[in-house]
Structure 1
Amino acid sequence: MNTINPTTVTSRFDRTRARLRTWFGLQEGKATDAVIDETLRGGVEIKGPNLWILMFAIFVASIGLDVNSTAVIIGAMLISPLMGPIMGIGYGVGIYDFALIKRSLKYLLVATLISLVTSTVYFLVTPLSGEHSELLARTTPTIWDVLIALFGGLAGMVGVTRRERSNVIPGVAIATALMPPLCTAGYGLANGNMSFFFGAFYLFSINCVFIAVSTVVITWILTPPHKRFVDNRIERRVKHLVVAVVMLTAVPSVYLAYRLVQEEVFSAKAQQFVKDEMALLRQTHVAGTNVTPSRKLIEVTLIGERVDDGKLKEIAARLTHRGLAGSELVVHQIGDSRQQIDASSIKASIAGDLYQETKLELANRDNVIAQLQEKLQQQERDRSREADVAKELHAQYPQVTKVVLSSATQWDAVSGNAEEQEVTVVYLASAKPLIAAERRTIERWLQARLKTERISLFVGRHVS
C-alpha cells in the first residue's frame, strides 16, 4: 500500500505557489514606493495649464458628441487630466492619508464643476442639435460600465506602479470614458433634460468610484508604507466605508443592467415569435415589426391576403407558451378599420405629388429664364457702355477711328494656369501713331471709365 508523504505534498505546493507568484506577481518591474508616491501625488493637482487643458478637452469632447464623431471623442479622452485626482483619492484611501484624500476630492470637485460649466456653455451656443448615438450611449449606465471602470482602473494602477512607462493610462482613459459623460451631463443642463443629466452624471460617478476602488485594491496588494492608526477599529471603519460606497454606487447600475437585459431578451423573443408564426401564413407577408419592451407591445404590419380575426387570436394565444406572457399583439392589415386605404385617397396622393413636382420644375425653369434674361440685359448695358466709350475716345483723340472692347481670361503660358480675374482687352485703330504719353493717358482714362485696373491696351494702324 502506497502512502503519501506530507513533506512531499508541502514541497509541491510551495513550488506551485512560487511558480504562480513568478507568473502573476506584481513586484517584478515595480517602481520604488517613493517614485509611485511622487507620481500619484503629482497627478492630483488640476490648476494652471492643467485647467486649461481640461477645458479645451471638454470643448473637443462636446464637439465630438455634437457631430457624433467617435474619433474626436477618443482624442479628447486622451488629453484629459481627470484621471489624476481620481487615482489620488484611491491611493489616499489605500495608505490612509486623509490629507491626500481631501486634496484629491477638492481638485476633482473643481474639475467636475468647470467641466459641467464648459460643456453647458458649448451646448447653449452650438447651432447643431439632435440626440446622436454617442450622446445617448452615455445616459443609461449599467453593470457593464461598472466592470469597465473596475478592470480599467486596475490596469491603470498596475501601469502607474511600473518602472517603465507604458500606454496603459491613455488606454484606461479611453476605456473608462470620463469626459463624454460630463459633456452629456452639460448637454442635459443646456437643454433642460434632467434624465440626460442624471444618467450621464451617474455614469461619471461610477467611473470615478470604481477607478478609485481599483487604485485602493492595488495599493493594498502592493502594501506601500502607510499611516498607522493607534486604534485598529478606525482602519476597519475606513475599509467598511470603502465597501459601503462601492455598494451604493454599484447597486443602481445592477438594476439598470438587469432591466436592459430583460428588454433585450423580450425583443429577441418577440422578433423570433413573429418570424415563426407569421411564416405559417400563406399569401401574407410581414411588412414591418415594432417591439416596445417597456409596454410589452408587439406591433406587426401585414400585406397580402387578409388574415381573419380568429386566426390572429390563435396566434396571440401562443404568446404565453413562447415566454411572452402578458404581451399584447397588435396586427395592422391593409383594408382593416385602422388602416383604411381606398382608390380616391391614392389618386389624391399621386395628384398631390405630381402637383408638387410640377410646381418645383416650373419654379426651376422660371429661375433659369430669369437668369438668362438678366444676362441679356447685362450684355445690352455693356454694348451701350462700349459705344459711349468709343465715341468719347474719338472725341478726345480724333485719330482713333475704331475701338474693340472684350473681356478675356489671361493665361500663364508657362504653367498653363488661368489668373483669378478677367482682363478687359481694348484694341484701338488709329489713323496716326499714338505717342507713349498718349497711350498712358488713354490707359488711365479707360481704367477710370470702365472701373477696372486690369486693362490690356493694344494700338494698331488704321488702314483705309
Structure 2
Amino acid sequence: MEQQQPKTLWQVVKGYFNVMPDKENEADTVSQISSGVTFHGANLWVLIFAIFIASLGLNVNSTAVIIGAMLISPLMGPIIGMGLAVGISDLELLKRSAKNYLVATVISVLTATVYFLLTPLNEAQSELLARTSPTLYDVLIALCGGAAGILALSTKGKGNVIPGVAIATALMPPLCTAGYGLAMGKASFFFGAFYLFFINTVFISLATYLGVRMMHFRRKQFVNAERLKVVNRYILGVVVLTMLPAGYMTVGIIGKSVTENNIRKFVKNECSFPGTQIISQSTNEKSKTLNLVAVGKSISSQQISRARTMMGEYQLDDYRLNIIQGSQSDSILLSQALASANTTTEASKQKMVEQSARIQELEKRLEGYELYASLGAEIGKETRTVWPGVTAVSVSRVADWKTDTTKASHYVMAVVSTQRVLSASERARMQSWLKERTHADSLRLIVTR
C-alpha cells in the first residue's frame, strides 16, 4: 500500500482558505442573483418604503431607523447583478442590471426629494452630513462588503452575511442625502452623496466580478469577444476614475487628521499653565492661525512666547499661535456657542446671552474686590506719610445684609492700626481722606492700636 505524502505548509494553509468545497450549485446562484435584478411590482414598492424610512432616520438623526431601512432595501440586487454579468460575460444580464439600477436610483432620489420637500424638519443632522464627504475608506468598505456578499450568495453557509453587507456598504443613506440636496438646493450635498453611492456601486460590482472569477464561474458561450473587450475597458476606466477623487479626498483627510493630532499634543504638553484652562481650540486655514480660548489665571507674554517657539516640534511651523483670554474670551465663547447652536430654540439662545451677561457682571465685581486688595498697599504708604503714627492699613469691600431686606448694601471698610490714640477730629479727617482716596460712596473706619 502506497504511503500518503505529508502535506506542505502551503497546502495546509490553502486548504483552510479554499472556498470551492462550499460552493453552491453555480446555476442556482446565477438564477438567484438574476431574479433579484428586476424592479417592478412589490420589489419597487419595498424600495420606495425603504427610502422613506431611511429619509425619516436621517431627518431625526436615528441610526437604528437608518439601519432598518438598509436591511429591507433591495438595491443590492442590480449592483451584484452587474458584477456577475461581467464575470460570466453575460451582456444581456449586464444591460438588464444596468437598466434596473438606473431606474432604482432615479426613483430613490425622487422619493427622497419629495420627502424632504414635504417635511417640516429641514436641518442637516450629523447622520446626513456624514454621507457628503466620501473617501478612500469608503472604497475599501465597498470592496470588502461586495466580496463578502458574493461569497455568501455563492456558498452554502450564508448565515447573516447579506444583512451585514447591506448595513456596512450603506447604499440607502447616500441616495436620501442626494434627495435632500436637491430639495434644499444644496449642490455640494447632492454631488457628495451621489458620489458616495457611485463608489459603493462600482466597487461592490468590482468585488463581485473578482469573486466570480476566483470561484471559476463558467463564462457564457457564443459571446462577442471584441464587444466584451470594449466593455472590460470601460469598466477599468470607470474604476480608475472613481478612485481618483476619493484618493485625493483621503489624502486631505489624513493630512488634516495628522495636523489635528499634533495640535492636541501641542495644547496638552505646551499650553498647560497652573490656574488656567484651555477650553476651546480652532484653526483658521486661510490665515494659518491656531486660536486657543483660555479662562482662569492670565497667561504671561513670556509663557506665550515659549509656547510659540515649541510649535516647530509638533510640525506646526506654518501656524501662528493666538491665545484669547480675559474678558475677550467671554465674547468669543458666546459667539462660538451661538454659531454652533443651529438646532437650539430661541429661548436657549436667549439663555446663553443672559448667562454671558451674568458672567461679565460677576467679573466686574471680582475686579472690584481685587482692586481694593492692591489699593491697600498704595494707600498704606500715603497714610503713613500723612499720619506718621500709622503702622498698617487694610482696605476691603464689604456686603451688609439687613434682616428686613433681601438685597445687600456695599461699602468700603478701612482698618487702620496706629501707635497712639487718634482724636475724634483726626479720625473724621482720616475717614474723609480715605473715602476720597478709594472713590467710595460709603466708608467705615476702624482704628486699632
TM-score by length of 2: 0.69
Deviations 1:89-124 (A, max 9, x none): 001111111111111010000000000000001011
Contact 1:263/1:293, CA 8 A, preserved across alignment: no
On the 8 A contact 2:22/2:156 being kept in 1, the answer is: yes
Give SS of 1:28's match. Answer: helix
Aligned-pair CA distance for 1:316: 2.0
Q: Which residue of 1 aligns with 2:291?
A: 299
Structure 1: which amino acid aligns with 2:245? P
- On the 8 A contact 1:43/1:84 being kept in 2, the answer is yes
Partner Cα separation in structure 1 for residue 297 and residue 149 of structure 2: 62
Q: Distance in 2 between matches of 1:157 and 1:276?
A: 50
Matched, 1:126 2:116: no
> Residues 79 and 231 (structure 1 numbering): CA distance in 2 closer, same or farther, change over 3 Å?
closer
Which range moves more in the overlay, 215-224 or 80-89? 215-224
Partner of 2:318: 326
Structure 1 24/237 Cα, relative in aligned 2: closer, same or farther at 3 Å?
A: farther
The amino acid of 1:194's aligned partner reads: A
- Change over 3 Å in CA distance of 1:137–1:237 after alignment to 2: same
> Which secondary structure state, in structure 2, belongs to the residue aligned with residue 330 of structure 1?
strand
2:180 pairs with 1:200: no
2:48 aligned with 1:22, yes or no? no
Bigger CA drift: 33-42 or 237-246? Answer: 237-246
Q: Which amino acid aligns with 2:77?
A: G
Instruction: Note if contact 1:44-1:107 (Cα within 8 Å) is conserved in structure 2.
Output: yes
Cα distance in structure 1, aligned partners of 2:111 and 2:271: 53
Question: Is the 1:267–1:291 Cα contact (8 Å) retained in structure 2?
Answer: no
Which of the pair has more CA radius of gyration?
Answer: 1
Contact kept, 8 Å, 2:295 with 2:329, in 1: the verdict is: no
Deviation at 1:303, TM superposition (A): 2.6
Equivalent residue in structure 1 for 2:309, among 304, 317, 325:
317
Alpha-carbon distance between aligned partners in 1 of 2:222 and 2:316, rounded to the nearest angstrom: 58
Find the aligned partners of 1:347 and 1:64 in 2 and give their Cα distance.
34
Corresponding position of 2:215: 222
> Residue type matched to 1:252 in 2?
P
SS in 2 for 1:131: coil
Matches for 1:23-42 after TM superposition, within 5 Å: 23-42=16-35
Amino acid in structure 2 at the alignment position of 1:190: A
Report the 3-state secondary structure (helix = DSSP H, G, I; strand = E; otherwise coil) of the residue aligned with 1:223.
coil
Q: CA RMSD of the aligned region, Å?
A: 2.9
The secondary structure found in structure 1 opposite 2:48 is: helix
Distance in 2, Cα, partners of 1:197 & 1:350: 44
Are 2:100 and 1:107 aligned? Answer: yes
Q: Distance in 1 between matches of 2:358 and 2:229?
A: 78
Structure 2 Cα separation of the partners of residues 48 and 302 of structure 1: 62
Write the mapping of 1:266-277 to structure 2, written as runs, cut at 5 A. Answer: 266-277=259-270
* Residues 76/230 of structure 1: CA separation in 2 closer, same or farther (3 Å cut): closer
5+ long unaligned stretches in structure 2: 333-352, 362-449
Equivalent in 105, 109, 115 of residue 116 of structure 1: 109
Between the aligned residues of both structures, percent identity stands at 43
TM-score scaled to structure 1, two decimals? 0.67
Residue 166 of structure 1 pairs with residue 153 of structure 2: no
3-state SS of 1:129 partner: coil
**What is the total number of aligned residue pairs between the two structures?**
337
Contact 1:299 1:331 in 2 (8 A): yes
SS of 2:20 mapped into structure 1: coil
Does residue 287 in structure 1 map to residue 288 in structure 2?
Answer: no
